[in-house]
Structure 1
């Protein structure tokens, strides 16, 4: 059983890694959307196989967000809605861990820096948000809550790094969306795929770690 779950995880890594070639070659729709979502779906199946149902659902919502952004005319509102839902689910997974294991005091010193980063990014992007102002503000609040909750929890470091990488990936997307700046080739996908891998791995590990008496 465990070997099957590991195969799903490793296949997800392989599929996500190969998707990088789409930065350099044109892949038609719908193949590009299927390819983009496939690795994240495999991460979701890995989490589901290990009983981490909330994390698995978050990963599957993320895959839906990937498809929304891979459409010939990317639907950013739908993408934000899918990814926002995924972040809410990740937050619930971290909160469930807090209820089981209590808070992690070692994460507290990191929180001011995370909040400052979120606020400064918002101030930087605010002038260019235009019609995406309301969904953009809501999304920023949701992902910030997810990252903060991860550091309040006793989740493995891998899950916390994954949460931070997700915020970094979204920042790189926002450079193009709100500031008309181009991120380095491959940087958005690398940070995003690594984030999802680490969240899947860490939240599965968190589910299987002993419950504090």
Structure 2
């Protein structure tokens, strides 16, 4: 098999794998649609709402596990499971907000470790990703500075002031390491996740009023998790294809 035939073969294989991946993602799309169909403000605090809200992240974790294997439990699949736990907790924000924030912080830590792994190629000779690092950290620090007075007014301010600061540091680190991967899907997923969390934070701590804020938060949240999950699957798929191409 010459190079042209090998290239054509793996292009067809990638198309077939993309179709198969889409089929595996159908339950996630249905679960996401179900959430927006059944969600109402009155559903906050119900077990059914917690299950429906957590289902999309659980289904994405299952997809990553199927495609990337059990080792992804210490990576993106594990981060999605932590996110599902965070979704569950935030259905009871008055009682379990800090628990939910801790679950999402663990998810960002797992994502960060994954983006540092050798599965994600990074061109160390390129300087352009480094330009974004100070921008992201400056943005994160500025947002914390903006949010700080509102955190001090919160009932659990002694926990929230340092906790939110640590959380912002972790999600900013996750976004920076996503940029390092040079994977467009992964970078978009991490940045959209940051937008989702900023939108949620300003509402939770009453720093701003956003029309249809909950819809904005959840649309960007589910989109970010989808992009991160697909980016992880595609990264493994690309590495496998490259290894096979070299052996051909």
| TM-score (norm. length: structure 1) | 0.88
| Alignment partner, residue 122 of structure 1 | 144
1:153 to 181, 189, 195: 181
Give the deviation of 1:203 after TM superposition: 1.1
What residue is the counterpart of 2:113 in the other structure? 92
User: What is the number of equivalent residue pairs in this alignment?
Assistant: 212
> CA offset at residue 98 of structure 1?
7.0
In the alignment, the residues of structure 2 paired with residue 47 and residue 139 of structure 1 have an alpha-carbon distance, to the nearest angstrom, of: 25
CA contact (8 A) 1:68 1:79 kept: yes
2:164 to 110, 126, 136: 136
Q: Deviations over 1:58-112 (max 9, x none)?
A: 1011000000001374411101110000000000110004775444644233333
Q: Is structure 2 residue 190 aligned with structure 1 residue 163? A: yes
The range that moved more, 20-29 or 188-197, is: 20-29
Residue equivalent to 2:229: 200
Partner-residue secondary structure (3-state), 2:43: coil
- SS of the residue 1:181 aligns to: coil
Which sections of structure 2, spanning at least 5 residues, go unmatched? 1-15
> 1:168, 1:191 within 8 Å by CA — same for their partners in 2?
yes
Unaligned runs of 5+ in 1: none
1:182 aligns with 2:204: no
- In 2, the alpha carbon distance for the partners of 1:8 and 1:196 equals 15
Structure 1 ranges of 4+ moved more than 6 A: none
Cα distance change on mapping 1:69 and 1:101 into 2, 3 Å:
same
Q: Deviations over 1:94-151 (max 9, x none)?
A: 0004775444644233333322221211111011113111111111111111000111
Which moved further from structure 2: 194-203 or 113-122? 113-122
In 2, the alpha carbon distance for the partners of 1:107 and 1:17 equals 35
- Equivalence map 1:54-133=2 (5 Å): 54-71=75-92, 73-97=94-118, 101-103=122-124, 105-130=127-152, 131=157, 132-133=160-161
1:45 matched residue in structure 2: 62
Q: Does structure 2 retain, via aligned residues, the 8 Å contact 1:69–1:75?
A: yes
Length-normalised TM-score, structure 2: 0.77
**1:8–1:42 CA contact under 8 A, matched in 2:** no
In structure 2, distance between residues paired with 1:109 and 1:72: 36
Asked if residue 172 in structure 1 is aligned to residue 193 in structure 2, the reply is: no
Change (3 A) 1:42 1:99: closer
> Which structure has more RCO (C-alpha within 8 Å, separation ≥ 6)?
1
SS in 2 for 1:179: coil
171-180 vs 55-64, greater mean Cα deviation:
171-180
Change (3 A) 1:72 1:90: closer
